[in-house]
Structure 1
């Protein structure tokens, strides 16, 4: 089980980096990011930086019209 603080910090970090690309704060991809990181954290123990890196990579792979 992923630590909720680690998950929140990783999500916030990845989302902040991704939003620098002119993505709105209410973009629905944040929900996809949260679910992705939750699954990643459940698969194996991860720290905030590692999960944030996974999150950024995931967001960059999403098609722009995904959401």
Structure 2
């Protein structure tokens, strides 16, 4: 199973990850990133990776 790691200090709340994979990433009302899923089932790995790829500050990493 894959795992999402976020550098919350680096995250600027652009929301591109949420657009790419709303079942995994969500911005709260203050524009702070929340992870809906930290452990990613295999069927969502591609979407999690897409969210990580579009992050303009490279704050998201998928491991495992």
Relative to total residues, which structure has the larger strand share, 1 or 2? 2
Shorter-chain-normalised TM-score: which range? Answer: 0.3 to 0.5
TM-score (norm 1): 0.32
Relative to total residues, which structure has the larger helix share, 1 or 2? 1
TM-score (norm 2): 0.33
